[in-house]
Amino acid sequence: MITFSNVRARFLSFSLLMLMAVMPVAQAETRAELDQASKAALNELIKTVPAAKTLSEKAVAILVFPSITKAGFLVGGQFGEGVLWRNGRASAYYNTAGASFGLQAGAQTYGYALFFMKQSALSALNTADGFEVGVGPSVVVMDQGMGVSHTTTTMQDDIYAFVFGQKGLMAGVGIQGNKITKIAK
């Protein structure tokens, strides 16, 4: 007899298997490869988005995750590794991981960059046992349209985030959490 709990258990098992198959691929880069991919992604972002260029000139540091893999079916997850750039040099390494639950299906890759505008915001990155996006310093997600009307005078928030390079299809609505943790690379 097929019951709701059997169907739910099968969906959860399928989702977890899908996530386990995808996640190890996202962390396979060496330090040199991660540095190169991160720097290339940052340079492209600065070259193509005027607001990113403006922010990069004033930022205390920039944390770049060049490739994050996200996948799910009802239960989902995401993972990627990134580099913190200070004064043009790689100064630390981080991973980003998240989980979600809700009406969702698909897989995609994307990258994102966090521009830390204040030392206090950057300090928050390492004070707790992992930095939760949306908790603590204010994070403003930017898009190309917002960049037209913003200047360094109007941009006074702690952290600005840019999402870039989206590939794949992920559809749905869910409850999400994202945590950034310092790693040894």
- The percentage of the chain sitting over the pLDDT mark of 90, rounded to a whole number, equals 31
Per-residue pLDDT for 3 more than 60? no
| Residue range 50-101, pLDDT digits in tens | 889 999 999 999 999 999 888 888 778 889 999 999 999 999 999 988 887 7
Which one-letter DSSP state was computed for residue 108? E
- The domain spans of the chain are 4-183
So what's the pLDDT on residue 103?
A: 74
> Residues 6 or more apart from 183 whose CB is under 8 A from it?
81, 93, 94, 95
- Compute the distance between CA of residue 55 and CA of residue 150 in angstroms, rounded to an integer: 10
Q: Which of 161, 98, 159, 163 is nearest to 130 (CA)?
A: 98
- Compute the distance between CA of residue 79 and CA of residue 95 in angstroms, rounded to an integer: 7
Looking at per-residue pLDDT, the higher value among 4 and 106 belongs to 106
Q: pTM for the full model?
A: 0.75
- Compute the distance between CA of residue 163 and CA of residue 152 in angstroms, rounded to an integer: 20
| Residue range 131-151, pLDDT digits in tens | 665 444 445 555 544 444 444
Q: Which of 129, 110, 136, 135 is nearest to 181 (CA)?
A: 129
So what's the pLDDT on residue 119?
A: 92
